Amino acid sequence: MAYRRDRLKAPTRKVQRVDVTVEAGNHAQSLTVPEIKGSTFSLERFRADDITALTFEHPDAIADEFLAVADVLIQGMDADIRSREQKLQQTRSAKGKVAAKAQEVNAPLMTLCVHQRLPNPRGERG
């Protein structure tokens, strides 16, 4: 095993010395305070080219018109809900009448089946 100290050293070349100077200090640039008095600014230059600003001449009139239309729409929806609720109640009432009549018709049939020992017309055991 060879040790570092036992190795042959390669001949070294002399390098020419170079003088280097390092300057310490603040390399930042300082800004001057801009003059603002009497300047005119255009907000147009801050807007993107593909965006157009749209405005309404009388936004309150447009809002009032929308509110009037919305009120009529709400009234129509409320009337439709009342009509549908009334139709639902009529349907429930009719269903109840039909169910009662079906029971009335079914009772004699069930009695007849029991007395005659006929199969239940509905497939139920009685």
pLDDT of amino acid 17: 75
3 state DSSP class of 113: helix
User: Distances from the Cα of 96 to the Cαs of 29, 51, 85, 107, in angstroms?
Assistant: 92, 64, 17, 17
pLDDT digit string, tens, across residues 44-95: 777 777 777 678 889 899 999 999 999 999 999 999 999 999 999 999 999 9
If one compares 118 and 42, the residue with the highest pLDDT of the two is 42
pTM comes to 0.43
pLDDT of amino acid 16: 73
pLDDT of amino acid 121: 58
Rg (C-alpha) for the chain, rounded Å, is: 50
pLDDT of amino acid 95: 95
pLDDT of amino acid 81: 95
